Amino acid sequence: MVGALSATSALADESAPEVTDQAPKKKKKKKKLDFAGRVFVRSALVDTEGAPDTTAQTSLQSARAKADYRSHDLRAELELEFASKAKVKNAYVQLRVLDDAPRIDVRAGNFKMPFSAIQMASIWTLPMADRGLLDNVLVKRMQIAGRAVGGMVAVELGGPLKPELRAGMFQGTDDAGNALAVGSADGYAHDAVVRATIEPFKGLELGAAGSERAGALLVAVPIVIRHAYAGELDATADVALGPGQLRAWAEGMVGTSWLTGGTDMAHVLTRFVEARAIVAYRLGGGERWARYVELYGLSGVLDPDRITRNDRVFENTAGITYGASEVWRVQAEAEFWRLGSAAPIGIAEFALGPIDSTTLLVQLGARL
């Protein structure tokens, strides 16, 4: 699968050995090197509030290539994005320290922090054309989730609920993505993230995560390192319902942020609240190349500053997809972004004021 992989993904289980008088011997895990790719091409019509005319644009939304190497207890992955300019997305090594219960993996490099089930899921797994406005705000403007350089330990405890625990330390950045280099008084500008999940029954996963992060706004003069926290609860479902498959992702998030409402963004930490949900219903699909149709919708709201009024951000998306499982898909989608007049400057796009917009798009995607 192209995109971020689970921090505790395992090699395929070997078949059980025959019962003999001697103790069974473990089969050796073979070396494996996989290559994969992904391409998204999009045409969109955008109606922006106050603009004299609707704009149209066709773009190469994403073009990725990935190499994934596995040998014994070692795994390494390199994933590059080429759509605008070459950029590293994933680059990490992972070592399996313990293969029995508990199963323990150690990972280091550049990869997704274990926070937000929606952000952690591959965009190919999610039904939408992209993760949308709220995800962009959380990742790029508030540095709450997304990819970062760091290290993580993942533990699978086994048992009927399949509990997992992931904990890591990651390099903090400013809101332009530049790594912060500071001393011990600022905790060396590293983020601490921990996440726990359980699976009450097949197809349903419940998760909880917390983080403490360091960051800085470039608009602040002088630039001040701030420390903020965030916590979230989430759930993902993929279950049979009637003739098709119901898929859903939901999360609720609270915390503090340096992205404040109004015009005072320099020195204040404020509390934020966020909630969003994705629901999709698929007919067909399943096996590779099997055709399917899927209807989906996303709805979310973010209050970036509990003190400031009229600063909330609303996002609603609806669409339909037709495709061949795991190979290609074409989708039509409508996105509606509504931002309060007091929403922070740059919340949707760096250094720009909040502006409502409606987008109609068609996107074709393929996996190689």
pLDDT digits (tens, 9 = 90+) for 264-278: 554 578 899 999 999
For residue range 293-333, what is the model confidence (pLDDT) as tens digits? 999 999 999 999 988 889 999 999 999 999 999 999 999 99
Q: What is the mean pLDDT of the chain?
A: 87
For residue range 151-198, what is the model confidence (pLDDT) as tens digits? 999 999 988 999 999 999 999 888 777 888 777 777 778 899 999 999
Question: Roughly how many angstroms between the first and final C-alpha of the chain, as a whole number?
Answer: 10
Residue 89 has pLDDT above 90, yes or no: yes
User: Does 235 or 17 have the greater pLDDT score?
Assistant: 235
The sign of the CA dihedral 112, 115, 118, 119 is: negative
| pTM of the predicted structure, to 2 decimals | 0.87
Q: Which residues contact 142 (CB under 8 A, 6 or more apart)?
A: 215, 257, 259, 272, 304
Residue 141 has pLDDT above 90, yes or no: no
The domains located in the chain, with CATH, are: 35-367 (2.40.160.10)
Residue 352 to residue 49: CA distance in whole angstroms:
13
Cis status, amide bond into 222, omega within 30 of 0 = yes
Q: For residue 1, what pLDDT band results from cuts at 50, 70 and 90?
A: very low
Alpha-helix residue ranges (DSSP H) falling in 145-200: none
